[in-house]
A and B are shown apart, each in its own frame.
Chain A
Amino acid sequence: MSRIVLLIAVAIAFSGCLKKREEGLVTIRMKSNWAGESLVIGDVYTNNDGNPIMVEQFKAYLTDIAIVDENGAEFPISDVFLADFSESNGVSATVPASKYTKLRFSVGVPAEINTNTDPATYPSSSPLSVSGSEGMFWTWNSGYIFVKFEGKTAFTPDASNLTEPYAFHVGSDAFYTTHEYAIDFEIGEEDETLNILFDANKFLNGTDDVINLQQDNLTHTMDNMMLANRFVALFNESISVRK
């Protein structure tokens, strides 16, 4: 027993001499852009078709956010985070000092939570609770909305008259997707911040597909599964991660 105490005392004294941190803080920020500039909810941008467009709401559930170190060990950052891009979003966690190589997260809510869930069973502080998920839970076909992207556009270049609504509400277990990004960083002397970027312009304008809002502007997933599929594919393509 006394040997253990002695060893601990030596170890503490030793680490004190080196002043090397054994852990540090990782912050994950979620940001949204419109073609390179920060997306501001309510501001008017120009869509690729030349028409004005405004985003009124952009929210997404990000779950099982974790980082992976060079030995493949995973360190959780957050179980469930509801990113609301009308404000700044971020989540932090203390992790061991190490070299890290990957950021992993999922868009949506895992099936075991999404199926037969009841938001009223979560404490109000949870993003899955009735108040935490307000507007992000389908009450007519029980389940969480994974991504909500909606606003107004115009079918002419006149930016003073945005009256045409669009709304993409996607959910259902089939759209739960896991993303993994290679990114090297070290937690040691310094903390680190990683940014998950969502380029909202690419939600509509991808390399292989373009959503023409004059024709395709509304999906609640089950009522327009084809458009939901297209939106999710574009959305997933739009995500990038950087320091």
Chain B
Amino acid sequence: MRWGCVIALFVLLGCNKSEWRPEDRTYNAEVPVGFPPLSIPDDNALTDFRVLLGKQLFFDTRISGDGTVSCGSCHKPEFAFADNQAVSPGVEGRIGFRNAPSLANVGYQEKLFMDGGVPTLELQVLAPFDNHAEMDLSITKAIEMMRNDEHINALAQFAYGREMDAFVFTRSIAAFERTLLSGNSPYDRFLRGDSSALSPDAIAGMELFFGQRMACGSCHTGFLLTDQSYSNIGLYEEYADVGLQRVTTLPSDNGKFKVPSLRNVALTAPYMHDDSRMLLQQVIEHYNSGGKNHPVKDERIRPLLMSMEEKMQLLAFLEGLTDIGFTENQAFQPE
């Protein structure tokens, strides 16, 4: 429906192209109540055409080596734009390096990747193309293919006033990703005054989560439920994937990974950077155990001595972070 309207506008504007400016038709991003304004780069203001083009590209499988993998193949709308598989398969089913993270509210991430190696969403768009286990297609070829698509190329002109190129490709996908806002879970409704939105168990779990004894909320804090820091949570005594150390080379960063947002966490199984925990209950057990010894383990990770009831309450709270309206939002589904 939305697509049909845009086509109509597109045709209409085609008659009067000289009056068209790429910055026209600002996209109305519905920033959830309690969220700060989105930080948008100067060269990529959100417009309807940019978001639409980005969405088209995001779900287009032609931009992969064997024509079967799109961004949306691993970042699935129904799983809050994460994947339900342990380390997503890319081209020809090749297995990747780490779990595909949820893209919910990704526009608020200060840095991308679990080791923070990429500073902007626009730059991140390039990464899967370089990767044999993901898109496995030259970014230059992918862009050329899209430029040869008349419809896509025309959309690029309306979105950015230029032909499809690397600038348009990276900007438009990033623009679409910035619109993936999720902030209407039962927890949010509870915070906004609907005391019935969370069950009594979930409310008890919330108090445990933010309480001093468990202190989950000391890292998983703020509107995203992450402080965007990097932490070694004692998952291993020796890490096969060294995490932040891969980017900084510092031994003090060994095994540190970005604290993930817990929004929609019940949808984003499996868990941990390497998908070593299939269930949320196993994640809770990990934190309850205090983890393994490691020289740079976060000192807040220590045995919690939780009762069965407390574990259930914590689980109920985490399940209260699921925003069904986000996963079912038609604006975020492939056309």
Contact = CB atoms under 8 A, between A and B. Distances in A.
A141 B249 CA distance: 12
A129 B143 CA distance: 13
Contacts of A118: 120, 122-123, 170
Contacts of B120: 118
A223 B171 CA distance: 30
Given A223-B246, A225-B249, A141 B166 contact: no
Given A119-B126, A119-B166, A120-B169, A140 B113 contact: yes
B126 A130 contact: yes
Contact of B143 (A130, A138, A139, A222): A130
A222 B118 contact: no
B127 interface: yes
B123 A142 contact: yes
Nearest to A226: B249
Given A134-B139, A222-B246, A222-B247, A142 B119 contact: yes
Given A120-B169, A129-B166, A141 B117 contact: yes
B165 interface: yes
A142 B140 contact: no
Interface in A71-118: 116, 118
Question: At the interface, is chain B mostly helix, strand, loop or mixed?
Answer: helix
Nearest to A121: B167
B110 interface: no
Contacts of B170: 118, 120, 130
Interface in A132-148: 134, 137-142
B130 interface: yes
Contacts, number: 63
B166 A130 contact: yes
A141 B246 contact: yes
Given A141-B247, A222-B246, A120 B119 contact: no
Nearest to B127: A139
B73 interface: no
Question: Size range of the interface on A?
Answer: 10 to 19
B56 interface: no
Nearest to B124: A139
Which of B43, B123, B247 has the most chain A CB within a 10 Å cutoff?
Answer: B123
Interface in B107-147: 113, 115, 117-120, 122-124, 126-127, 129-130, 138-140, 143
A138 B118 CA distance: 9
Given A130-B139, A140-B117, A142-B117, A124 B123 contact: no
A116 to B, nearest CB: 6
A130 B119 CA distance: 16
A141 B119 CA distance: 9
A131 B122 contact: no
Contact of B171 (A120, A124, A134, A222): A120
B163 to A, nearest CB: 10
B169 A140 contact: no
Contacts of A131: 139-140, 143, 166
B138 A134 contact: yes
Contacts of A142: 117-119, 123
A119 B165 CA distance: 11
B2 to A, nearest CB: 27
B177 to A, nearest CB: 15
Contacts of B171: 120
A121 B164 CA distance: 13
B117 A120 contact: no
Contact of A116 (B113, B119, B247): B119
A222 B250 CA distance: 10
Contacts of B130: 139-140
5 contacts: A119-B166, A131-B140, A139-B127, A142-B119, A222-B249
Given A120-B167, A120-B171, A121-B167, 4 more contacts: A120-B165, A120-B169, A130-B143, A130-B166
Give me the 10 closest cross-chain CB pairs, A-B, nearest first. Answer: A130-B166, A141-B117, A139-B127, A120-B166, A131-B140, A120-B170, A139-B126, A139-B130, A120-B167, A141-B247
